[in-house]
Amino acid sequence: MKLKCPSKAACTTVTVAVLLVATTIFAQQLGRPTAEDATTARLVCSMISRYHINHGEIDDSVSPRLLDQYIEMLDPQKVYFLKQDIDEFSRLKTQLDDLIKQGDVNFAYDVFDIYRRRFDSRIDHVHKLIDMEHDFTVDEELNTDADAIPWAASDAELNERWRKRVKFDILNRTLDKDEKIEEVRDRLHKRYNTLLRSIHDTESSEVLEMFLSALTHCFDPHSSYMSPQTLEEFRISMQLSLDGIGAALRSEDGNTFIASVVKGGAAHKDGRLEVGDQITAVAQETGDFVDIVEMKLSKVVRLIRGERGSKVRLQVVKADTNESVVYEMIRRKIELSESAVKGEIIETTDRLGRKARIGVINIPSFYRDFNGAEKGIEDFKSTARDLQDVLVDFRRQGGVEGIVIDLRYNGGGALSEAIEVTGLFIDQGPVVQVKEPGSKVKTYSDDIEGAFNEPLIVVCNRMSASASEIFAGAIKDYGRGIVIGDMTTHGKGTVQNVMPVSSQLFSSFFKPQDRGALKLTINQFYRVNGDSTQNLGVKSDIVLPSLLDHMDIGESSLDNALAFDQIAEAEHTSLAYVNADVVSRLKKQSANRIAKNEEFKKIQEEVADYVERKNRKAIPLNAEKLRAERALDEKKDNKVEDDAEDEKENGPVLPVTAYNDEVLNIAVDYVELLRGAVTAQVE
C-alpha cells in the first residue's frame, strides 16, 4: 500500500492509522506526549548541538540512526516487530530529525504502542508454547545472532522463532537446574506474566526517556537523557545516601517483598519489618492506603521514599504468620555504606607462606555528594576522604609494607574524586588532561603533597572504566606503582556532565528538575603522557589469566564510540617506584607461579574453550548436544559470577581465590624488590 505524505505531520498521522488497522490486539493506549514533553525534546536537541564535544548536528544523517537505536532498544532480538512494522516506521527515517527538533515526539509513543500490542500477541502465544510437548531429540538450532536474521515477514515466522526460544528455555532449565517439567512451565508462565506487567506499567516519562536517550546514543554511547526519576536515582548513587525506611525490596509475581534490611536505617531500628515480609499497601502520614499489588517496583519505591522525618505507613503480611499488620515508621537518612571504600590489612604468612603486611583497599566507585559539598556539609561523602581515612587507619594499626588498590568492576564516577585520590599518592602535579569542545586542552592537577608513599599495586579488569582509568593511568605515567589484571581496562576516555534540561544551566547540576537532565559527553580526557584512554584503555604491566578479558565488553565493542587519539604530554616528574627491570622481574615471577597453579590452569582451559565457542551463532536444541555444552557453560558462568561475588560488600575485602592470592604474591614480590633496591643503594 503506497502512502502519499503531503506533509510530515500528515505522514505521521497516516502511518499511525495504518499501523493501528494492521494490529488486531488492542490494549490501553499509552498517554500521549504533553506540551512539556515537546519543550523537553526541543531543549535536549539544542543542548546536544551546543554542548556535546563534537557539536553534533541533528540532521538527516542522524535520523535513520535514531530510528535504528530506538527500535533496537525495544526489540533487540527481532521477536516482536514484523517487517511491515519496520517498513512503516522507516517512512519517517529521514524526517525524525526535523520532527524532534520541533518537539514532536509522537513517533516514540506510536512505536511503543505498537510494540506493546505486538508484545501482548506474542505472550499469548508463548503461554501456549510453554504447555505444549517438545521433541528434544530433533537436531535443530536456535539462532542467537539477531544481526544476521531479517525481520519476520509474518506471524507464522515469529511463532516459529518463539517456538525455538521457549523450547530452549525449557531444555536449558531441565538440564542445568534439574527441575521437573511442571516446575519449569510454572516458572516460565510467571516470568512472561511479569514481563507483560512490566511493559504495561511503562510510564510516558519512560518512553520519552528511551527515545531521547536513543537520540543521544547516536553521538556516543555514554550520553543519555534522564527523567526526573532517573536523575534522583543517579543523585543517590553519587552521594551514597537517601531518605527512606532502609529496606531493599524485590518483586516476585507482582508482589513486593522485603529482600534485606539496611543496618542503621529506620526499619532496622524499628525492628518489626523482616526479610520475607510482603508489603501490600503504602500510605503517607495522612490519607488512604495505595494498593501496590501488581505495581511496578520503581513506583513502590517512590511511594515509600520521602522527606527525612516524615512518616510512612506500610500494610504488611508477615512471612512467618501470614498476619496482616500496619507499621508506621519515620523516614531517616540511610547511608549506603556497602558501596563505600573498604580496606583491611592482610598478614600474608598464613595465606601465602611469605611474611608481609599488605593493605588491601576496594574502591567500588568514585562517588561524591555534590549537594553536600555545595552546601558546605562538613562530612559529605567522598571517595578521597574515605580512602584517606582507611590509609590513616592502616598507620594507626602499625603500618603496611605495600598497598593494593582494587578497582575491578569500578565503572568510574566523579572526575574530581579521581584527581583527589591520585593526589594521595603523588606530589603536586598534573593528573589528567581534558580536551574541551573546540579542541582546547585543560590540565587538572593535584595541588597537595602526597601523604602516602608505600609501594602501590593497582588491580583492574575490563569493567574498570572512566575515573578508574584516570587514576590507573596517572599511577603508570608517574611510575608510582604497578597496574595488574586484565590486558587493558574498559577504554572509556570521555567525561560526561549532568545538566538540567532548561533554557539556562543552573549552578547545581544535581538539583532535580521537572524536565530531568541530560548526561552529555562534553570532554575527552587524556593521560599525563598524552594518550587517550578512549577505546584502548590502560594496559596492565602484568596480565593475569581472566575469562572476562576475552569478552566483548570494552568501549571498542560499543556502537558510536569515539576514537582513540593523542595530545602532547604534560610536564611531570617521574618517580622511582617502577622501571623496566622491576616490571620484567615481577612478570617472570608471576608467570612461574601461574604455570604451576592448578586453579589457573583451569581458568586458562575455560578461556581457551570460551574463545573457541564465543563466535557461534546458534545454540543446539538437541538435549544430548546441549547437555555437553551446558556443562562447559556452567563453568564459565559460575566463574564470572564468582569473580563478581568476590567484590561484594559482605565478605572480606580480598577473598581467598587463586587470582587474589596471586595479586598478593605480586604485591609481596614488589615490596621485596623495592626493599632490595633501597638496601643496595645504601650499601
Q: Which of 511, 508, 510, 423 is nearest to 474 (CA)?
A: 423
CA-angle at 227, arms to 224 and 233, nearest 5°: 90
488 DSSP 8-state letter: B
The count of other CB atoms within 10 Å of the CB of residue 577 is 20
Side chain identity, residue 277: D
Can 155 be counted among the known catalytic residues? no
User: DSSP letters along 237-252, please?
Assistant: HHHTEEEE--EEEEEE
Do 444 and 572 touch, CB atoms closer than 8 A? no
Question: Where are the strands (E) in 408-486, listed by range?
Answer: 429-435, 441-446, 456-460, 481-485
Can 477 be counted among the known catalytic residues? yes
Grid cell in block for residue 252: 516476585
Do 537 and 469 touch, CB atoms closer than 8 A? yes
Compute the distance between CA of residue 212 and CA of residue 46 in angstroms, rounded to an integer. 12
- Which one is catalytic: 63, 466, 540, 590? 466
- Which one is catalytic: 78, 492, 519, 639? 492
Grid cell in block for residue 403: 598497598
- Which one is catalytic: 113, 220, 477, 661? 477
Torsion, CA 38, CA 43, CA 44, CA 50, rounded to 10: 150
Q: Where are the alpha helices (DSSP H) in 52-105?
A: 63-74, 83-89, 96-101
Torsion, CA 569, CA 571, CA 575, CA 578, rounded to 10: 10
Question: Where are the strands (E) in 55-192, listed by range?
Answer: 141-143
Do 470 and 418 touch, CB atoms closer than 8 A? yes
Can 466 be counted among the known catalytic residues? yes
Three-state SS at 426? coil
- Return the active site residues: 466, 477, 492
